[in-house]
Amino acid sequence: MMRWRLAMMLLCLTAAAARATAPLSVTGAWIRLLPGGLPAGGYFTLRNDGDHPVKLIGAKSPAYGSVMLHRSLQSQGESGMVGVDTLTVPAHGQIRFAPGGYHLMLMQPRAPLEVGGAVTVALEFDGGVTLEQIFVLRPASATGP
Ligand SMILES: [Cu+2]
Say which DSSP state 66 is in: E
pLDDT in tens, 94-121: 999 999 999 999 999 999 999 999 999 9
Smallest Cα–Cα separation from 120: which of 41, 31, 18, 58? 31
The number of residues making up the chain comes to 145
- 72 CA from centroid of ligand 1 (Å): 7
- 71 CA from centroid of ligand 1 (Å): 6
3-state secondary structure 4-31: HHHHHHHHHHHHCCCCCCCCEEEEEEEE
- 24 CA from centroid of ligand 1 (Å): 24
Cα–Cα distance for residue pair 97/145, rounded to 1 Å: 12
Give the per-residue pLDDT at 76: 81
Reported CATH class of domain 2-138: mainly beta
- 104 CA from centroid of ligand 1 (Å): 7
pLDDT in tens, 4-47: 565 665 555 544 434 445 699 999 999 999 988 899 999 999 99
- 97 CA from centroid of ligand 1 (Å): 11
Provide the whole-model pTM. Answer: 0.82
Angle CA(14)–CA(26)–CA(145) in degrees, nearest 5?
145
- pLDDT value at 92 more than 80: yes
Q: Where are the domains of the chain?
A: 2-138
